[in-house]
Amino acid sequence: MKRLVTILFLCAACFGAMAQNNVFVLVDVSKSVKQSELTDAKQALTEILTGLQPSKAFITQGKQQDLANFKVNTGDNLAIATFGSLRTTLQINPNPTAIQNVSADVNRVVNSISWSPTDMRTYITLAKAKIAEYAKGKSITNYRLYIISDNINDDYGPNGRPDYTDDYTRDLVDGYNTSTNPVKEAGYTKLKFNSKSDFTLSFSPQVDVSAYAPPTKPNAPTPLPPADTTAIIKISSPDGKKNKEAELKNENVSVSWTCSNCPEGIRYTVAVSEYDGGKYKETKKNLTANSVSFKLPNGKFRITVSASNCSANSDTTYIKVSTGGFGWLLIVLLLIVAGGVGYYFWNKSRQEKVETTSSSNCGNDIFNNGNTPPVPSTNNSSNSEYF
């Protein structure tokens, strides 16, 4: 009996070891991703890892029942890392947490990173290769890979050229999942929050790296590139602030700006919106020049210049358009109308006074009230002689 219990215990231990899963989560923190998307993704990831149905995300690839495959269980190992720029991605060094209490441990791991877009680029292939590199170093041949990203692959640096810091990094990317060095990724189940957006939560139940071999690692540590320099857009004209708008007397408004640290090929979006009671809106996108013109009506406007195809700090200015136009004519017309109305009432009042005066004098009229004409005086001597 004792032997049977021991055998059963060993079998259970072996089954538990076989059933243990290594789960790696990669979170894209490039600025092409919106903060609201990352916030929603954080909630959805927590729900899926703990076995709950996602409250906002919906499946766009795969089946609903597939989500059960991505829950973590006691004994699983869970690690999460951010990727984006070359510097951030090269710093991927998973630190798996052994899951004991699913809810508590999942929350702790998910909250161990900053869910904020900070980087200028997205090195997706390098991020995957770093996970495979780590797995092979720990003798892990199979793992689950969950990727949260807008899937904009930016594996090249400024001006479309590779900017890897050393040969090892370049070989790590170029040799990942090739015909001579394959990585087998099982089909992904994908979720989105908006069907029109590229932002996706992708879940692979198995990545097989048993046939993959990363390049020989150099003795010296891989050097890190300098931190990203943020591209900054600055409106040069017109220059105004809210409640201190730049006043313009012409309906043709020209907006110009500069861009420091901006990559070649950057395109701009300029949005104009009226405020303080106005409803005028207009947006011009994918501009290549550093200036643009609008024909605007009188009013107060907010003008924002931002990047269309990359990350950059935007800038905003405020203007007030007051062309005058036919305003003087309107004032003259109003004065004429006011004068006419004033004259009408003055004349009406005058006529009423005249009529009142006339009516008070009609008591002496011979035709008033049918009275008999006055009899001539008998004191007139000529009259007495006539009769």
118-128 pLDDT, tens digit per residue, is 887 889 999 99
| CATH 2.60.40.10 residue spans of the chain | 232-321
How much is the pLDDT for 259? 86
Half-sphere exposure of 25 (CA within 13 A, CB side): 27
Q: Which two tokens stand for residue 247?
A: 């006043």
Asked whether 49 and 108 are in contact (CB, 8 A), the reply is no
Distance (Å, rounded) from C-alpha 114 to C-alpha 98? 21
The stretch 335-348 carries a mean pLDDT of 75
Side chain identity, residue 314: S
User: How many CB atoms sit inside 10 A of residue 325's CB?
Assistant: 11
- Residue 72 pLDDT: 98
Q: Is the pLDDT of residue 26 over 90?
A: yes
The overall pTM is greater than 0.85: no
pLDDT, tens digit, 9 for 90 and up, residues 353-387 = 666 666 555 555 444 444 555 555 545 444 444 33
Q: Where are the alpha helices (DSSP H) in the chain?
A: 2-19, 35-49, 86-90, 102-110, 124-137, 167-174, 327-361, 381-386
Which class in CATH covers the domain with range 232-321? Answer: mainly beta
66-92, pLDDT tens digit by residue? Answer: 999 999 999 999 999 999 989 999 999
Mean predicted confidence (pLDDT) in 129-136:
97
Average pLDDT over every residue of 168-192: 94
The reported pLDDT for the residue numbered 125 is 92
User: Between 124-137 and 167-174, two packed helices, what is the crossing angle to 10 degrees?
Assistant: 90
Q: How far is CA 341 from the centre of its chain?
A: 55
The pLDDT value given to residue 382: 45
Q: What share of the chain is helix, strand, coil (3-state, %, to 5)?
A: 35, 25, 40
Summarize the confidence of residues 158-173 as an average pLDDT.
82
pLDDT at 10 exceeding the cut of 90: no
Q: What is the DSSP letter of 224?
A: P
> What is the maximum alpha-carbon separation in the chain?
177
Identity of residue 135:
A
